[in-house]
Amino acid sequence: LASGGLEIPVLASVTIEQQGTMLVGSDIGAVVATLEPFELFSLGLNCATGPRDMASHVRYLSRNWPARISCIPNQGLPEVVDGRTVYPLSPEDFAAQMKQFILEDGVSIVGGCCGTSPEHIRVLAETVRDLQPKQREVNR
């Protein structure tokens, strides 16, 4: 790639479960320590939980990760109601929580994973279109 003059951004994204670790038992601090030596375009969180359950991990990245941060959560934690999987967040609630990550934690890449619908993404795009991520000071 380098010899051809191509620049391909590399994004890393991990899933932190409700208990606060990845399935292998590592926490977000271990993820940062492991990936910091690499020139990543961004590091972020995806899947497993909704925005509320990601908040403390996003905050950790905001204070400790030197590059861009992504956040691509589920549309909340799924529940089974009458034999159907139901996700609890409305498009407006989902977008409001993502807006908060941008303005308070400097998240600069957002999206949706399991349970998000085209309407969730439409409202998210409208909500964040003109926002600038908060400038962050990273602890070293």
Q: How do residues 98-119 score in pLDDT, each as one tens digit?
A: 999 999 999 999 999 999 999 9
The per-residue pLDDT for 22 is 80
The per-residue pLDDT for 77 is 85
- Residues for the chain: how many in total? 140
Domains of the chain, CATH where assigned: 11-128 (3.20.20.330)
Q: How confident is the model at residue 30 (pLDDT cuts 50, 70, 90)?
A: very high
* Residues 140, 131: Cα–Cα separation, whole Å: 27
Q: How confident is the model at residue 55 (pLDDT cuts 50, 70, 90)?
A: very high
| Residue where the block lists tokens 């403390």 | 56
Question: What is the reported pTM?
Answer: 0.88
